[in-house]
Amino acid sequence: MEKNNSYFEAVFDTISEPIFLMEGQTFIDGNSSALSLFDINSKDELLLLHPSRLSPKYQPDGELSLVKANKMIELCYKNGEHTFEWLAKTFNNKIFLLEVNLKKIIIDGKEIIINKLKSFDEKKNLVIEQKENSLKQINERLLINNENNENLFESILLLEEYKRALDASSVVSKTDLYGIITYVNDKFCEVSGYEREELIGQNHNIIRHPDIQKEFFKQLWETIRNKKIFKGIIKNRKKNGQGYYVDSTIIPILDKNNEILEYIAIRNDVTSLFEKDELIYEQFTDELTSLPNRQKLLKDLKTCINPKLAIINIDRFKDINSSYGMEVGDRILKEFAKKLLIFKSINLNIYRISGDIFAFMAFGNFKIEELYKTCSNLNILCDREGFVIDDNSFDISFTIGMADCDEKLLTHAEIALYWAKKINIDIGIFDEEMPIYKELKGNIELTKDIKQALKDDNILMYAQKIIDNKSSDVKYEILMRMKLSDKRVLSPFVFLEHAKRARLYPLMTKKIIEKACEYFEDKEMIFSINLMIEDIKNEKTVDFLFTKLIETNLANRVILEIVESEGIEKFEEVGDFIKKAKALGCKVAIDDFGTGYSNFEYIIKLNVDFIKIDGSLIKNIHIDDNVRLTVSTIVNFAKVLGIQTVAEYVHCQEVQDVVESLGIDFSQGYLFHEPEHLL
């Protein structure tokens, strides 16, 4: 290769015709004739020079040499070859005219331009030199008349760079005084879906979205016609009818007489931000009543100052659903929500927690006595106005539980509600002196039962099949149960939260891990173990898990299923755990996907293999089009990320048919298998 290069250099330098080689917009080589023509002593002086450095500042047509040279080079790259006349200047400032031929070739995969130069006769060059001298004299006079002209060259270059940066990042258009489009950049065409030819000459309302009121545009035009800059978020419409949002700045361009010449609009596409906000809004909003939901209440309880809570439960609402149907029941819930909203204020929020349970959350300087009065007034309002649906009158009563400024505000309000129902009063306020000794005694007894079950090896391992919807292969989800001394078997829903509070839960997790590894060690089956956030945060539990998987050589057959994943707060901890698990060969699943607003956020951050779509979505998927659309979105989202999906709570063939039609990979539920005792 070095020998070939030497031959090339020797031949290249013997060519009498002046030749430069260029890459991009700068010189990379030149033969002896070219160096001599421009009084260049060595090739080192030539390297990386722009052609404008071997030219006077202006060409004979008055255009900047730098700008015109870039245009000529661009034409060569575009067309393959380009020939033109060029006014050149040597290192010793001699001016002469050349015919320049640019030709694009490919060398080692790189685009190189051969720059061949042909000099005109001396007489013509003399005329050109005299013309250049005349231009110099004119330029000197201009410099005398305008001391700022020294910076004009740099300013023009800077403006060119600004325009290039703006075109690369922003949606830009220009219109005349009447809103007729005179210019759009490539970004405008990309975002709107229109071709440039379809836009030029059209009124700018071609992209107006019908959702935007005429009054908005009236104010917009009033602003810019008064020579003021307009700023705001505008919803536009693409060629295909789809909406998109742009953060817009519209600037009137004025002439020297301070009259408007045209308008320039600079926009940034913020559609993704609006879509994210809409998604978060949907996750935080009850679909039926449009009130904030339980997830929003839990979030607000963490952030609001001095919160007070009133949980409102409509009495015997199931009777209405049973007697009149769910449609009538839903209409009553909507009407009830409207009555609640009458009491909304700057320090009082309204929520629908679930079903027939609503909530007032007061905060700040809103006192508990005021909240009690508000609840009483709600009772009076409902008694006075009642509820009328299709000429049927309904007398609705409700029971309220209240609590004030406590870390366990929701729990205490629920206890107060439970107590109010038990003693048949309208409003119960939580008090530590409430006669709830039976409940406390029950908790004490449950603690004893858990300890005894651990001692007697009565933490049982159950399992439920998970079916591959394509191959019908089976894997198992391991489930925890607890057997009492009276032989009753309890679900985790009964004892799990209490076990956490009693700090017994880590022992129960270890027991299930131990039994699962023992049972599956000699079986060629894939199985999943449920882990809560508490397990992942517990270093001893994690060490125990990984040690057992290594000892039994089961890491490549286990799926670690993270349940109650909406509790993830520190993604670093969970992310580190997943990395370690995958390093061993484990796969990772996220449970209950679709129940919390943060799901979409953390699923992108965490490198998981499966997501289990929450049963609350799956169980009604065959009768609820909105749920079906939500699940379809989740499945498509997972496919884009290369994540497999599992449908939980598949309880009938109709549900399974929809699950399969949506392309969900696995199914789990009573249709296939009820959990059974393994060990």
pLDDT tens figures, 347-362 = 999 999 988 999 999 9
Residues 576 and 647 in one domain: yes
Output the average pLDDT for the chain. 85
- Of the pLDDT bands very low, low, confident and very high (cuts 50, 70, 90), residue 461 is very high
Q: Does residue 133 register a pLDDT over 90?
A: no
Neighbours of 162 (CB within 10 A): 10
Q: What is the rounded distance in angstroms from the CA atom of residue 85 to the CA atom of residue 69? A: 11
Maximum average pLDDT range among 111-115, 279-283, 495-499, 570-574: 111-115
Residues 518 and 607 in one domain: yes
Whole-model pTM? 0.41
Residue 11, domain member (yes or no)? yes
pLDDT at 310: 93
pLDDT at 598: 45
Mean pLDDT over 100-106 rounds to 92
Q: What is the rounded distance in angstroms from the CA atom of residue 414 to the CA atom of residue 254? A: 66
> Token digits for 505?
């839960």
Torsions phi, psi for 636 (to 5 deg): -65, -40
* End position of a domain, from candidates 418, 435, 452: 435
Structurally, the chain folds into a number of domains equal to: 4
- Give 406-418 pLDDT, tens digit per residue: 778 888 898 889 8
Quote the domain boundaries for residue 92: 2-160
Distances (CA, A) of 326 to 256, 316, 329, 374, 655: 70, 14, 5, 29, 20
Nearest to 564 by CA among 298, 337, 333: 298
pLDDT at 1: 46
Residues 573 and 484 in one domain: yes
| 485 residue type, one letter | S
- Element (H or E) spanning 182, and its range? strand 181-184
Mean pLDDT over 480-490 rounds to 92
* Lookup result for tokens 């649906």: 389
Nearest to 512 by CA among 563, 467, 447, 472: 563
pLDDT at 384: 86
pLDDT at 161: 60
Residues 514 and 473 in one domain: yes
Give every strand in the sheet of 19-23, ordered side by side. 26-30, 19-23, 110-119, 95-107, 81-89
pLDDT at 19: 92
List, as one string, the DSSP characters of 523-542.
Answer: S---EEEEE-HHHHH-HHHH
Q: Does residue 278 register a pLDDT over 70?
A: no
The angle formed by the CA atoms of residues 141, 143 and 146, to the nearest 5 degrees, is: 110
* End position of a domain, from candidates 160, 186, 217: 160
pLDDT at 567: 58
Residues 297 and 249 in one domain: no
pLDDT at 159: 54
- Give 642-665 pLDDT, tens digit per residue: 999 999 999 999 999 999 999 999
Nearest to 421 by CA among 315, 309, 308, 310: 315
pLDDT at 83: 93
Report the CATH number at residue 205.
3.30.450.20
- Element (H or E) spanning 633, and its range? helix 625-641
pLDDT at 616: 87
Residue 165, domain member (yes or no)? no
Give yes or no for a contact between 248 and 266, defined as CB atoms under 8 angstroms apart: yes
Neighbours of 297 (CB within 10 A): 24
Residues 202 and 303 in one domain: no
Neighbours of 435 (CB within 10 A): 10
Mean pLDDT over 442-456 rounds to 88
Beta bridge partners of 308: 362, 404
Neighbours of 448 (CB within 10 A): 12
Neighbours of 305 (CB within 10 A): 9
Distances (CA, A) of 593 to 41, 426, 491, 661, 675: 72, 37, 21, 19, 21
The angle formed by the CA atoms of residues 527, 532 and 536, to the nearest 5 degrees, is: 95
Residue 199, domain member (yes or no)? yes
Report the CATH number at residue 653.
3.20.20.450
Strand boundaries in 108-170, DSSP class E: 110-119
Residues 139 and 241 in one domain: no
Residues 6 or more apart whose Cβ sits within 8 Å of residue 536: 542, 562, 573, 574, 577
Maximum average pLDDT range among 201-205, 379-383, 499-503, 648-652: 648-652
Residues 99 and 182 in one domain: no
| 416 residue type, one letter | A
Burial of 202 (0-12, 13-18, 19+ CB in 10 A): middle
- Of the pLDDT bands very low, low, confident and very high (cuts 50, 70, 90), residue 269 is confident
| 476 residue type, one letter | Y
- Element (H or E) spanning 95, and its range? strand 95-107
pLDDT at 15: 81
Neighbours of 155 (CB within 10 A): 12
Mean pLDDT over 553-568 rounds to 84
Residues 416 and 445 in one domain: no
List, as one string, the DSSP characters of 541-574.
Answer: HHHHHHHHHHHHT-GGGEEEEE-SGGG---HHHH
Distances (CA, A) of 547 to 86, 460, 551, 553: 77, 21, 6, 10
Mean pLDDT over 141-155 rounds to 52
Residue 668, domain member (yes or no)? yes
Percent of the chain with pLDDT over 90: 40
Residues 6 or more apart whose Cβ sits within 8 Å of residue 647: 612, 613, 618, 631, 655, 659, 664, 666, 667, 668, 669
Give yes or no for a contact between 616 and 647, defined as CB atoms under 8 angstroms apart: no
Q: Does residue 514 register a pLDDT over 60?
A: yes
pLDDT at 434: 75
- Give 1-30 pLDDT, tens digit per residue: 444 555 556 667 778 889 999 998 899 989
The secondary structure of residue 474, as a DSSP letter, is E
The angle formed by the CA atoms of residues 287, 288 and 290, to the nearest 5 degrees, is: 65
Q: Does residue 149 register a pLDDT over 50?
A: no
Report the CATH number at residue 368.
3.30.70.270
Residues 414 and 303 in one domain: yes
Maximum average pLDDT range among 14-23, 217-226, 310-319, 644-653: 644-653
* End position of a domain, from candidates 403, 435, 467: 435
Residues 193 and 55 in one domain: no
Residues 481 and 362 in one domain: no
- Give 587-637 pLDDT, tens digit per residue: 999 988 876 544 677 788 788 999 999 888 999 999 999 999 999 999 999
Mean pLDDT over 208-233 rounds to 87
